[in-house]
Structure 1
Amino acid sequence: MVPLKIISSGAALPPLKITSAELDIRLGKSAGYVEQRSGVEHRFHGDDRASQVELAAEAITDALRRGNIPADSVDLLIFASAIPVQALPYSAAHVLKASPLREGISTFDVNASCVSFISALQVAAGLLNTGAYRRIAIVSAELASRGINWAHEESSIILGDGAACAIVEKGDGRSGILSCLMETYPAGIDLCHIRAGGTRRNPRAGIDDKDFLFHMDGKRLFRLAASLIEEYWARLLTAADCEMADLATIVPHQASQVSLEHMRRRLKVPEDVLVDIYRHHGNQVSASIPTALHYAITHQRFTPGKPVALVGTAAGLTLGGMVLLP
């Protein structure tokens, strides 16, 4: 086991609650259509002036407050999100400026799309165990609504905004990572993407307004992920030397109603083990897993001595998972 202790968590949401009934009207659908198709009752969207940086800072502040942690005790900030604030400088620098954390600490970004938080936890554990840092804040923040293509029904009705933070230490060795497994299958690289934002699509190489919007081929993406997930789960659990029945809590990426139902049925995950906040948050991209983890922690579903799994699929196509002992 790699020692790691989550000592506090926090979350933040923009104030604007968007109900599926409102989207029925916006999209010209009959009453109840969006909720039936998406499985979402409501989700939260920032307005056009909302700041991803401020949302991240709110989540950090919430985690510090809940854990009664002095802001100046954190010596590394990791921003773990799919979408950056801008190309340069990197997002963690922006978040540090807006947060209560002290100036001059180390900061950097980790991006593995929707499973960025899991990658950041693995990186944080490694750094804590070298003695390079003592206390690390990991925050994921997304304004997914900023990239919605309202002409694409499949994705436009499931996306929500939000941020979540976890503060971690090495701990006393009784808690930590039992296994972590990240696998990427580039066959799915064009099934979920935003083309703009880097060197591939820009004013000189050629660009279109739609390149800034989210595109997803949900059916093909689900089929590819479903064909891989069962064997992936077996490898993740074998590495942790445990079985599905040993897991007290499973915290999945809240990708879609279909993906959560697939996990329940195909992987035989009991209702009381799976953390499902999708109905009231939608798909929050990288903020999805840490927000669901925060829910588990605040609802007494993250208990010392009882293994917890974080797992998700991400653009790439990437499968990411971690088995933790709280």
Structure 2
Amino acid sequence: MSFQILGTGSFLPEKVITNEELSRMVDTSDEWITKRVGVKERHVCTTESNTDMAAAAAARALESAGVSASELDLILGASVSADSISPGMASMVQNKLGAKCPAFDINAACPGFLFGLEIAAGFFSRGTVKKALVVSSERMSGLIDWTDRSTCCIFGDGAGAAVLGQGDSYLASELHTQGGNDVIDIPTGWGNSPFYQVEQNKSCVHMKGQETYKFAVTSMVNDIRSVMKQAGISGEQVSVVIPHQANLRIINEAARRLPEIAAEKFLVNIQEVGNTSSASEPILLDKAARSGLIKPGDYVVMAAFGGGLSSAACVIRW
């Protein structure tokens, strides 16, 4: 017993920042951003909190699934940008939804949603839950150095969620971590102690682009091939691939190295939303589900990579 996805939901803030607007804030241009990253615009919070977005996406997922908050047995939250360290995002979502189940957060950076699915699968396999919610929400605009053109053009804000029920649709998974902060780092601001003598980096995203690119492409290709083999499916049988929306060049290169899967099956929305970290996969999954790109019985492959360095992939039968 694993699970099946009963419904999906997503939320994007109303405020949109285009490349042209960004070029008036920092030394960049639409041409530079489009060529290097593939983003044309991104949504950013003005009054919405991380919890607000998560709760909105979760409510839409519950509505899609036809499930009430009172039926949930577990809430898992994935985020690197929760409003507070404690209580965690999942706890705050539980409160907003009016649910009464255990809730806790996962910090696995961009693959966080996929790590959450794997954790949920463990609860289902033990028979301790019947319905669960996995929600990812990221307010990356609060973690960006808006004077650094190499990072501020990439990220956006948003949330996505999935309601899970008992079933056998979670067919295969792959999780990896190679610990270290030398490639991607988001330091926390532990500056209150008058006794701590170590200088700390600025609390924002620090990323080495070339190293991230190499890790991302290699991990995505290897992880997708691994989960396809585990699930016993061919590239022709894959209906859609939901790749992490970090960089269009990364997605295109991974697709090129996976010729067994038709390139058009790799879905993208990075042009409109940017990199929303762990919310990337559920936002795109919700869009694909609601637009009819995924049909019952379809094989859906999801793959993500990010800080940790971590990567993950899975195969789900819709």
TM-score normalised by structure 2 residue count? 0.92
1:91 maps to: 89
> How many Å apart are 1:31 and its aligned residue?
5.8
Question: Is 1:131 aligned with 2:127?
Answer: yes
**Whole-angstrom distance in 2 between the partners of 1:207 and 1:257:** 38
Residues 1:58 and 1:232: Cα distance change in structure 2 (over 3 Å)? closer
SS across alignment from 1:114: coil
> How many Å apart are 1:244 and its aligned residue?
2.1
Question: Is 1:258 aligned with 2:254?
Answer: no
> How many Å apart are 1:121 and its aligned residue?
0.9
After superposition, residues 275-286 of structure 1 pair within 5 angstroms as: 275-286=267-278
Query: Counterpart of 1:235 in structure 2: which amino acid?
Result: S
Paired residue for 2:177, among 184, 191, 198? 184
**Whole-angstrom distance in 2 between the partners of 1:185 and 1:318:** 6
Contact 1:80/1:111 (<8 A) preserved: yes
**Whole-angstrom distance in 2 between the partners of 1:12 and 1:77:** 18
**Whole-angstrom distance in 2 between the partners of 1:294 and 1:84:** 21
After superposition, residues 280-295 of structure 1 pair within 5 angstroms as: 280-295=272-287
After superposition, residues 81-160 of structure 1 pair within 5 angstroms as: 81-97=79-95, 99-102=96-99, 104-160=100-156
Contact 1:63/1:167 (<8 A) preserved: yes
**Whole-angstrom distance in 1 between the partners of 2:277 and 2:30:** 27
**Whole-angstrom distance in 2 between the partners of 1:196 and 1:252:** 28
Contact 2:235/2:262 (<8 A) preserved: no
Write out the 4+ residue segments of structure 1 that deviate beyond 4 Å after TM superposition. Answer: 201-204, 206-210
Query: Counterpart of 1:78 in structure 2: which amino acid?
Result: L
1:311 maps to: 303
Pick which of 203-212 and 295-304 moved more: 203-212
Question: Is 1:298 aligned with 2:296?
Answer: no
Pick which of 19-28 and 224-233 moved more: 224-233
Residues 1:242 and 1:45: Cα distance change in structure 2 (over 3 Å)? same
Query: Counterpart of 2:23 in structure 1: which amino acid?
Result: D
Contact 1:23/1:34 (<8 A) preserved: no
Deviations 1:176-212 (A, max 9, x none): 12111101123x63211111156xx764535768531
TM-score normalised by structure 1 residue count? 0.89
> How many Å apart are 1:25 and its aligned residue?
1.4
Query: Counterpart of 1:53 in structure 2: which amino acid?
Result: T
What is the root-mean-square deviation of aligned Cα atoms in Å?
2.1
Pick which of 157-166 and 19-28 moved more: 19-28
Contact 1:253/1:288 (<8 A) preserved: yes
Query: Counterpart of 1:311 in structure 2: which amino acid?
Result: A
Contact 1:80/1:110 (<8 A) preserved: yes
1:5 maps to: 4
**Whole-angstrom distance in 2 between the partners of 1:166 and 1:241:** 25
SS across alignment from 1:244: coil
1:240 maps to: 231
Contact 2:217/2:251 (<8 A) preserved: no
Residues 1:145 and 1:238: Cα distance change in structure 2 (over 3 Å)? same
Query: Counterpart of 1:299 in structure 2: which amino acid?
Result: S
SS across alignment from 2:295: coil
Contact 1:144/1:161 (<8 A) preserved: yes
After superposition, residues 203-214 of structure 1 pair within 5 angstroms as: 203=193, 204-205=195-196, 210-214=201-205
**Whole-angstrom distance in 2 between the partners of 1:181 and 1:86:** 30
Count of equivalent residues: 316
**Whole-angstrom distance in 1 between the partners of 2:279 and 2:197:** 31
List runs of 5+ in structure 2 lacking aligned partners. none
List runs of 5+ in structure 1 lacking aligned partners. none
